[in-house]
Amino acid sequence: IRESATLTRDVLEQHFNDLKGTLKKLLDERLMSLLQEVDAIEQESIKPLDECQKLIEHGVSTADDLLREGESAVHGDVGQQNEKLCSFTKKALHIQLDSLPEVPSLVDVPCLSAQLDDCLLTILKNQIFRHGTVASRPPVQLEEFVEKPGGILVRWCKVDDDFIPQDYRLQYRKSTASHFEDVYVGSETEFIVLHIDPNVDYQFRVCARGDGRQEWSPWSVPQIGRTTLVPHEWTTGLEGYSLSSRRNIALRNDSQSCGVLYSKAPTYFCGQTLTFRQVLSGIETVGQPDRRDSLGVCVEQQNGYDSLQRDKAVCISTNGAVFVNGKEMTNQLPAVTSGSTVTFDMEVVQLGPSSNEGGNFKLRVTISSNNREVVFDWVLDQCCVSLYFGCSFSYPGWKVLVF
Instruction: Dump pLDDT digits (tens) for 256-278.
Output: 888 899 999 999 998 889 999 98
Q: Is residue 261 domain-shared with residue 373, that is, in the same domain?
A: yes
**Is 234 part of a structural domain of the chain?**
no
Q: Is residue 282 domain-shared with residue 395, that is, in the same domain?
A: yes
pLDDT band at 77 (very low <50, low <70, confident <90, very high): low
Q: Determine the Cα–Cα distance for residues 272 and 172; give it in Å rounded to an integer.
A: 23
pLDDT by residue (tens digit) across 346-370?
A: 998 876 554 444 457 889 999 999 8
**Is 280 part of a structural domain of the chain?**
yes
- The residue among 107, 130, 153 that closes a domain is 130
Q: Which residues contact 17 (CB under 8 A, 6 or more apart)?
A: none
Pairing of strands 273-278, 399-402: antiparallel
pLDDT by residue (tens digit) across 298-314?
A: 999 998 898 999 999 99
> What is the residue-averaged pLDDT of the chain?
86
Q: Is residue 32 domain-shared with residue 156, that is, in the same domain?
A: no
Q: Is residue 208 domain-shared with residue 299, that is, in the same domain?
A: no
**Is 368 part of a structural domain of the chain?**
yes
Give the residue among 151, 147, 148, 187 at the shortest CA–CA distance from 169: 187
Cα dihedral 228/233/235/239 (nearest 10): -170
**Is 236 part of a structural domain of the chain?**
no
Q: What is the pLDDT of residue 97?
A: 59
Q: Determine the Cα–Cα distance for residues 373 and 319; give it in Å rounded to an integer.
A: 14
Q: What is the pLDDT of residue 163?
A: 87
The average pLDDT across 194-206 equals: 93
The average pLDDT across 321-326 equals: 94
The average pLDDT across 55-72 equals: 80
CATH of the domain at 173: 2.60.40.10
pLDDT: which is higher, 323 or 194:
323
Asked if pLDDT for residue 284 goes beyond 60, the answer is: no
Q: Is residue 10 domain-shared with residue 45, that is, in the same domain?
A: yes
- The residue among 67, 102, 130 that closes a domain is 130
Q: Is residue 395 domain-shared with residue 269, that is, in the same domain?
A: yes
Q: Is residue 247 domain-shared with residue 390, that is, in the same domain?
A: yes
Please state the pTM of the whole predicted model: 0.61
Q: Is residue 167 domain-shared with residue 78, that is, in the same domain?
A: no
Do 390 and 308 contact (CB within 8 A), yes or no? yes
pLDDT: which is higher, 70 or 281:
70
- The residue among 227, 256, 287 that closes a domain is 227
Q: Is residue 213 domain-shared with residue 362, that is, in the same domain?
A: no
**φ and ψ at residue 19, rounded to 5 degrees:** -60, -45
Do 376 and 329 contact (CB within 8 A), yes or no? yes
CATH of the domain at 339: 2.60.120.920
Q: Is residue 160 domain-shared with residue 204, that is, in the same domain?
A: yes
pLDDT by residue (tens digit) across 201-231?
A: 999 999 999 888 888 988 998 999 999 988 9
**Is 324 part of a structural domain of the chain?**
yes
In the chain, the number of structural domains is 3
Asked if pLDDT for residue 12 goes beyond 50, the answer is: yes
Q: Is residue 99 domain-shared with residue 167, that is, in the same domain?
A: no
Q: Is residue 158 domain-shared with residue 279, that is, in the same domain?
A: no
**Is 315 part of a structural domain of the chain?**
yes
**Is 157 part of a structural domain of the chain?**
yes
Q: What is the pLDDT of residue 355?
A: 47
**Is 150 part of a structural domain of the chain?**
yes
Q: What is the domain extent for residue 59? A: 1-130
